[in-house]
A and B are shown apart, each in its own frame.
Chain A
C-alpha cells in the first residue's frame, strides 16, 4: 500500500519535471536522484520487513524454549527463517524428540523397576511369613508337641531353602541384566555334556517315577557355547519338565544335528502350556499357574534366566506346547 502510494507520487513528479522543459543532462541527473531515492526506500522497506520477520521467528523460538524449560514437550517449531534459524528450530525439535524418548524410556524402566520390586517383595514375603508362622507356633507351645514339632521345623527349613533359591536366582538375573556376566564361549562335545546333565538329574526324575530318554547317539559333536551357563539352562528346562509332568510320564533330552548348527531340545508329555501364556512365560515372575508353581518350588525367574543366557548365545528359545499333551523347549547352538 505504502509502496503503491510512493510509486504514484514519483510518477507524478517525473511527469511534472518532463513537462517543465528541463534539459536532457539535468533530466538525467534528476532521474538518477529519483531512482536512488526509490531504491533506498525500497531497500529500507525490504530490510525492515526482513528484520521484523526474523525477530518474530526469534521470539517464537525464545517462547518455545521457555515452554520447554517449563516442562512442556508438546512444542514443535516450524522450519522457517534464515538458514541459522532453521537449524536452531530443527535442533530444538530434535532435542524435544530425544527428551520425549528418554522420558518414555525412564518411565518404562521405573515401571519395570516398581513391578520388579513389588514382585520381589511379594515372593520374599511368602516364605518369610511361613517361616515366621511356624517358629511362632513352635514358641507358643507346639515345640513340646511331638506330633507337629518336627513337621513344623521341616517346613520352616523347606521355606528357608526356597528363600535361598529365590535369592540366588535374583542375584543371577541381576548379574545377567546388568551385563556383569560375561559368557565364556568354548567348543565342547554336546553328547558328553548332555549325558552328564541327564546323569545328574536322573535321581530326581526317578523319585517321581519319570522316564528320561536320551535322544542322541554316542558320537562326538562339537558346539560353541558357555558350558556352565548352558548347564544352568538345561537344569532349568529339565527341572521344569520334571515338575510339570505327572508320575509315569516321559522327559526327552537330545539334539538334532544340522550342517552348521545343533538344535538342543527338552520335551515332555506333561501338563503343557495354554497358547495365551506362551508369549509371557519368559517374563520375570510370570506364572501360568501361581499355586502350582509355588507348590513345586518355582521362583518365577527360571525361564527369564534361560532366555537371557540363550540370547547371549545369539540364539532364541523356541517353545511348542499343547495343553494336556506336553511341551518342547529348544534352542540352536553354532557348530
Chain B
C-alpha cells in the first residue's frame, strides 16, 4: 500500500475520531444543560453543532476522494464504508443533542418534574452507549460493540417507563401538560441517541469482523 493512500485512510480515521469527540462532548453538555436547566451550556451545544456539520462535509469529501482515486478493497473498503455510515450516525447524534438542548428553555420552570422523571438516568445510559461506541471504534473492539447493542433494550424499557410516568403526571396536574409534552419529546430524542449508538456499534463489528449483525442478520444466516 503506498504512502499517500495510507495517509488518506489515517486522516479519515483521525477526522472520524475528532467528530466523535465533538459529538460525545455535545451530548454530555446537552444532557447536563437539561438536567441543570442551564441555558449558557446550550450555547456551547449549538456552537459544537456547526463544527460537527463541518466535519460531516469534510468526511464526505474525503470518502469521495478515496473511492474515486484509490478504489479500496477488503479491510480498507470496510473502513471507508463504515466511515460513511458512522459519519451519518454521528451527525444525527449532533442534531439530536441540539434538539435536547432546545428543550432546556421550555422546561426551565419545571426543574422538579425533570428531576422526578430522572431523565438523566436514561440520558446517562444512552450517553455511555455513544461513548463506548466511539471507544469500540478507536480500539477496534467488537466485543465492546456487541455489549452496546444489548443496552439498547435497557434504554427502550426506560423510555416506556418514563413515558408512562410523565403521562400520569400530566393526568394528575393539567399545568404539567406542556412541560410534560416537552419531556416526552426529550425522552424520544434520548431513545434515538441510543439507536444511533447501536448503529455505530454494528458498523464497528462490520469494520473489524466483516460481519453484518444489524437486524439480527448474523442469527438468521
Judged by a CB distance under 8 angstroms, whether A182 is at the interface is: yes
Does A186 lie within 8 Å of B24, measured CB to CB? yes
Does A182 lie within 8 Å of B135, measured CB to CB? yes
Does B139 lie within 8 Å of A186, measured CB to CB? no
Point out the residues of chain A lying under 8 angstroms from B20, CB to CB: 186
Residue of A nearest to B17 (CB): A187
**B121-147 interface code vs A (CB 8 A; 1 in, 0 out):** 000000000010011001100001000
**A157-194 interface code vs B (CB 8 A; 1 in, 0 out):** 00000000000000000000000001011111000000
CB distance from B8 to the nearest CB of A (A): 16
Interface residues on B, range: 10 to 19
Does B17 lie within 8 Å of A185, measured CB to CB? yes
CB distance from A314 to the nearest CB of B (A): 12
**Which of A185, A188, A222 makes the CB contact (< 8 A) with B138?**
A185
Does B21 lie within 8 Å of A187, measured CB to CB? yes
Does A224 lie within 8 Å of B139, measured CB to CB? no
B108-162: which have CB < 8 Å to A?
131, 134-135, 138-139, 144
Judged by a CB distance under 8 angstroms, whether B18 is at the interface is: yes
A236-263: which have CB < 8 Å to B?
none
Number of interface residues of A (CB under 8 A): 8
Does A224 lie within 8 Å of B135, measured CB to CB? no
A181-221: which have CB < 8 Å to B?
182, 184-188
**B21-64 interface code vs A (CB 8 A; 1 in, 0 out):** 11011000000000000000000000000000000000000000
Does B21 lie within 8 Å of A188, measured CB to CB? yes
Q: Cα distance A187–B18 when bound, in Å? A: 6
Residue of A nearest to B24 (CB): A186
**Which of B14, B18, B22, B135 makes the CB contact (< 8 A) with A184?**
B135
Point out the residues of chain A lying under 8 angstroms from B21, CB to CB: 186-188
CB distance from B55 to the nearest CB of A (A): 11
Does A182 lie within 8 Å of B139, measured CB to CB? yes
Residue of A nearest to B138 (CB): A185
Does A184 lie within 8 Å of B17, measured CB to CB? no
**Also in contact, A222 and B131, with CB within 8 A (given A182-B139, A185-B138, A186-B24):** no
Point out the residues of chain A lying under 8 angstroms from B18, CB to CB: 187, 222
Point out the residues of chain B lying under 8 angstroms from A184, CB to CB: 131, 134-135
Q: Cα distance A186–B138 when bound, in Å? A: 9
Q: Cα distance A65–B22 when bound, in Å? A: 62
Point out the residues of chain B lying under 8 angstroms from A188, CB to CB: 21
Q: Cα distance A185–B20 when bound, in Å? A: 10
Residue of B nearest to A182 (CB): B135
Q: Cα distance A318–B48 when bound, in Å? A: 35
Does B131 lie within 8 Å of A224, measured CB to CB? no
**Which of B17, B25, B134, B144 makes the CB contact (< 8 A) with A224?**
B17
**B76-100 interface code vs A (CB 8 A; 1 in, 0 out):** 0000000000000000000000000
Point out the residues of chain B lying under 8 angstroms from A187, CB to CB: 17-18, 21-22
Point out the residues of chain A lying under 8 angstroms from B22, CB to CB: 187
Q: Cα distance A185–B25 when bound, in Å? A: 12
CB distance from B3 to the nearest CB of A (A): 15
Q: Taking beta carbons and an 8 Å cutoff, which residues of B are in contact with A?
A: 14, 17-18, 20-22, 24-25, 131, 134-135, 138-139, 144
Q: Taking beta carbons and an 8 Å cutoff, which residues of A are in contact with B?
A: 182, 184-188, 222, 224
Contacts A/B (CB < 8 Å), 15 sampled: A182-B139, A182-B144, A184-B131, A184-B135, A185-B17, A186-B17, A186-B20, A186-B21, A186-B24, A186-B25, A187-B17, A187-B22, A188-B21, A224-B14, A224-B17
The 3 closest A-B pairs by CB, nearest first: A186-B21, A187-B21, A187-B18
With A185-B138, A186-B134, A187-B22 known, 18 other A-B pairs at CB within 8 A are: A182-B135, A182-B139, A182-B144, A184-B134, A184-B135, A185-B17, A185-B135, A186-B17, A186-B21, A186-B24, A186-B25, A187-B17, A187-B18, A187-B21, A188-B21, A222-B18, A224-B14, A224-B17
